Amino acid sequence: MRETTPVAVGGRCLLHADTRAPVMVGEIVQNHRGETYAVMGGTPPRHTASSGRVDVAADGTSANVADYYPHVFGLVWGSGPDSRA
């Protein structure tokens, strides 16, 4: 079951780059190869030269989590509690 909790860490929120809509925990995202993954969490950027990371699982379980750069899935980290602005 998909959760309705946005991926947010330390005042940063993971967003879809094109719509700026928040990414939810468990949401299915697709990479440029057409492979699908469930978003499990992430790590926001620690400095301006960083893009942070997004934690995903191919099978949707926390036992098989891998981390990727957000742009692999068309995602970005926004700043502030309402990062869509």
- Contacts of 48-52 with C-beta under 8 Å, sequence gap 24+, read 51/76, 51/77, 52/12, 52/77
Using the predicted structure, report yes or no on whether residue 85 has a pLDDT greater than 50: no
For residue range 5-36, list pLDDT tens digits in order: 999 998 999 999 999 999 999 999 999 999 99
**pLDDT of res. 4:** 80
Residue extents of the structural domains in the chain: 8-79
pTM of the model: 0.85
Contact 76, 66 (CB under 8 A): no
